[in-house]
Amino acid sequence: MRAKGWVLLLIREGQGSAPGGQVVVADSNRRWAKDLTTAWTRKDGVAAIAPVVDCGDRYVLACEVSKSQGARVVLFPVEKALRAEFGPLGAGAQI
């Protein structure tokens, strides 16, 4: 995600305080959050759960559940949410 420019820059010590607690924004589509967690299932063992959440209204925009914890599992729901919210990518655009 860093290579694609999808992460926020870190605030260095002395340049202000890092945000803590919940991320709050006034409107939808102003900031999205991405996470990855795992859960144990009886049938398949460990499953990765990768949601994309709109921080403005706390709505889950997309989610991927998989046995893999690879980059595709993390990035696929981001692409899916972008396409659902903003339409198809223009010619030559890549995610």
Residue 62 within any structural domain of the chain:
yes
The answer to the question of residue 12 being in a domain is no
CA angle 30, 66, 44 (to 5 degrees): 145
Amino acid at 8: L
The verdict on residue 93 lying in a domain is: no
Average model confidence (pLDDT) for the chain?
A: 78
pLDDT of residue 45: 92
pLDDT at 15: 53
Quote the number of domains for the chain.
1
Q: In this structure, is residue 47 part of a structural domain?
A: yes
Indicate the SS3 state at residue 76: helix
- The 10s digit of each residue's pLDDT in 7-53 is 665 555 555 555 555 666 778 888 888 888 999 999 889 999 999 99
In which domain, by residue range, is 37 found? 32-86
Burial class (CB in 10 A: 0-12, 13-18, 19+), 62: buried
Average pLDDT over residues 49-78: 88
Give domain status of residue 14, yes or no. no
The pLDDT of residue 84 is above 70: yes
Share of the chain above pLDDT 70, in %: 68
